[in-house]
Amino acid sequence: MIGVLAAFPFLFSAHWLVNIGVFTLMYAVLATAWNLIGGYAGYISLGHVAFFGGGAYAIAVTTTHHYAAHGYEPFYVLPLVGAAVALGSLPLGWLAFRTRTATFAIVTLTLLFVFQQLAFNLRSLTGGSSGLLLPLPLFPVATYERPFYYALLGLLTCGLAISWWVRGSKLGLTLFAVRDDEDRARGLGMRVTYAKLAAFALSAGFFAMAGGVWAFYIGSVYPQFAIDPLVTIGAVLMVYLGGKATLWGPVLGAVLLVPAQQYLAYRLGASQLYLVGYAAVFLVVMLLLPRGILPSLAEKIRRRRGRADPGRPPAQVERPAKELVRS
């Protein structure tokens, strides 16, 4: 899959196609990062776009206030931006995790609006409603999108590697136990708070790095776009569409939804009806595959194999994390 994505700009070199590829990879990174906290731990965060905006403003402020970035310099800063935002998210996560379920979602949504208002009012740093303009990078016109595309592909590869590692580690087991029954996990002596904060910080760091690439690619940062609730909502929809707590589900959701979103925005954007069409696509798929595409397809394949071979013993069903801990 990564090889196919790496070859995409060479197979389809038209600017508009590579542009769609850039946004598809960006949302794949965001969905993969959100899956760490929303899919693995079961905590629905609606305010992660605040970290996306934080990364965007970090790159914008660095390039406009300190040096003119006409090349790859902002890409080199991305790991520092991700690490700084991840560390800064820890106290916010500690406060938010004092709540659960719907209350947690509301608290994180409030975080979004707080950061957006700060971006509007800290004019000396963020430019306020006037925003910040980044210097235009001097990349070749014929391949202008490729550096951004491959930067996001690198982030996606790292995000998938971390997600794969988390799934098979003690941290992943703790997160799954939290999702199934947090009180039981805490009673068994699992380090619940540490696991939730680790997932929250990792997720925030990747959101920030994706936001940094987005700002450098767009060339301007405005509060209403850098900290837009639709960014988080899009990432959440992609996770649910592809399949929560799966490795490739968020990527599949992004590959399916982002091109559809871009097409609908182009065809219906003037009247904002593209949002209705975008929601309709998601609702139709979710009604047909309520568990997400990958889990639903896996379940159908298991049932077909069971009907084709009646004498075959039933497939081993994956046990919840709480049963694994108890055994």
Q: Per-residue pLDDT tens for 39-60?
A: 999 999 999 999 999 999 999 9
| Torsion angle of the four alpha carbons 204, 209, 213, 219, in this order, in degrees rounded to the nearest 10 | 70
Q: Which residues of 182-208 are buried (b: 16+ CB within 10 A; e: fewer)?
A: beebeeeebebeebbbbbbbbbbbbbb
The pLDDT value recorded for residue 317 is 42
**Model confidence at 98: pLDDT above 70:** yes
Burial (CB < 10 A; 0-12, 13-18, 19+), residue 21, is: buried
Measure the CA–CA gap between 277 and 198, rounded to whole angstroms: 36
The pLDDT value recorded for residue 260 is 82
Alpha helix ranges (H) inside the chain: 2-11, 15-35, 49-65, 73-96, 101-121, 123-126, 146-167, 170-187, 192-218, 223-226, 229-242, 249-268, 274-288, 293-308, 321-326
pTM: 0.89
Q: Please state the rounded mean pLDDT for residues 114-131.
A: 90
On average, the pLDDT of the chain sits at 86
**Model confidence at 319: pLDDT above 50:** no
**Model confidence at 167: pLDDT above 50:** yes
Percent of the chain at pLDDT above 90? 53
Q: 269: how many CB neighbours lie within 10 A of its CB?
A: 12
Q: Please state the rounded mean pLDDT for residues 11-20.
A: 89
Domains of the chain with bracketed CATH:
2-308 (1.10.3470)
Q: Per-residue pLDDT tens for 262-290?
A: 877 776 665 566 677 667 767 777 787 77
The pLDDT value recorded for residue 279 is 75
Q: Which token pair is 128?
A: 């306020």
Burial (CB < 10 A; 0-12, 13-18, 19+), residue 284, is: exposed
**Model confidence at 147: pLDDT above 80:** yes
What is the identity of the amino acid at 99? T
Q: Is 133 helix (H, G, I), strand (E, B) or coil?
A: strand
